[in-house]
């Protein structure tokens, strides 16, 4: 069932194996209470852009969920996820999370989670509408994504936001790992710069690099959803979320 999208040499949406492992999970751990609070025990969860599967496997124990299907376009990420599942009721597949026809083969879901993956989508609104159609009645679509560019465009806000980001990194990862992460920001590798430029290109292409733009598009598409900032101090601008509950004939 694995199905990877064909990527051209100049495709800015190409997969990479950056940001896998405990460091990223620790940095975004503050998002997990919101996610877990929206899930019901026994739910079937579809985690799109699941990365190395650590979040999905923790949620499986925290709630506990009935089952998990994780999708990621990176082969390395899926291999790690499969190695970590250790008998858990979870399946991980390599594929394009925007391929709605392929995703429907997994059947309906009680919850669909997209954390820090939506800004990579070519057509996020259409993709989210497709996800909503795959939800069971009372099922929930949970979206969490970054909003770094807004602070970077503010000359007065950027230095303070950057300082807060560094403090958050040190507090979250500890001094040793945190300083390595900060050094990576100050002296980024070629791979980091490419990923950063791709992120900026994605947001500018779809007009989602400021929170007010994101909020306007999500609320116009899902007027009954809850949309807001999850933590304005994280990243270089913030983290926003949307929780949409599907109600039949609503």
pLDDT of 162 over the 70 cut: no
**Six-digit token pair at 224?**
């009954």
- CATH number, domain with residue 133: 3.40.50.150
pLDDT of 2 over the 80 cut: no
> Is residue 120 included in any domain, yes or no?
yes
> Is residue 173 included in any domain, yes or no?
no
Strands (E), the chain: 44-48, 67-72, 90-94, 109-115, 135-146, 226-229, 239-245
Q: Given this model, what pLDDT does residue 59 score?
A: 95
* Mean pLDDT taken over the chain: 77
> Is residue 122 included in any domain, yes or no?
yes
> Is residue 213 included in any domain, yes or no?
yes
Domains held by the chain: number: 1
| pTM (2 d.p.) | 0.77
Pairing of strands 109-115, 90-94: unpaired
pLDDT of 242 over the 70 cut: yes
**pLDDT tens digit sequence for 64-82:** 999 999 999 888 889 989 9
> Is residue 127 included in any domain, yes or no?
yes
Q: Residue 59's Cα: distance from chain center in Å?
A: 14
Mean pLDDT of 148-173: 55
Q: Which residue in the block uniquely carries the two structure tokens 């858990």?
A: 88
> Is residue 219 included in any domain, yes or no?
yes
> Is residue 44 included in any domain, yes or no?
yes
CA atoms of 153 and 156, how far apart (whole Å): 9
> Is residue 16 included in any domain, yes or no?
no
- Burial of residue 117, with CB atoms counted within 10 A of its CB: 0-12 exposed, 13-18 middle, 19 or more buried: buried
Q: Which domain covers residue 40, as residue numbers?
A: 22-149+196-245
**Six-digit token pair at 238?**
């913030």
**Six-digit token pair at 212?**
């007010």
**pLDDT tens digit sequence for 111-146:** 999 998 887 788 888 999 999 999 999 999 999 987
């Amino acid at each position: 069932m694995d199905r990877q999208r064909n990527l051209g040499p100049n495709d800015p949406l190409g997969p990479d194996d950056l940001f896998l492992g405990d460091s990223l999970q620790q940095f975004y751990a503050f998002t997990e209470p919101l996610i877990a609070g929206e899930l019901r025990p026994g739910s079937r969860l579809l985690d799109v852009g699941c990365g190395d599967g650590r979040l999905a496997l923790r949620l499986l124990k925290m709630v506990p969920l009935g089952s998990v299907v994780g999708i990621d376009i990176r082969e390395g990420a899926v291999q790690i996820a499969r190695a970590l599942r250790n008998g858990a009721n979870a399946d991980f597949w390599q594929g394009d999370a925007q391929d709605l026809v392929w995703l429907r083969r997994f059947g309906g879901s009680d919850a669909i989670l997209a954390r820090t993956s939506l800004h990579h989508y070519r057509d996020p609104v259409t993709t989210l509408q497709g996800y909503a159609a795959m939800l069971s009645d009372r099922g929930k679509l949970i979206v969490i994504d970054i909003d770094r560019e807004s602070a970077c465009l503010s000359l007065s806000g950027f230095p303070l936001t950057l300082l807060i980001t560094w403090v958050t990194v040190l507090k979250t990862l500890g001094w040793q790992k945190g300083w390595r992460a900060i050094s990576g920001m100050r002296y980024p590798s070629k791979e980091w710069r490419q990923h950063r430029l791709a992120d900026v290109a994605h947001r500018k292409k779809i007009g989602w690099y400021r929170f007010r733009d994101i909020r306007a598009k999500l609320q116009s598409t899902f007027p009954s959803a809850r949309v807001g900032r999850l933590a304005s101090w994280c990243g270089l601008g913030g983290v926003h979320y949307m929780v949409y509950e599907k109600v039949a004939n609503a």
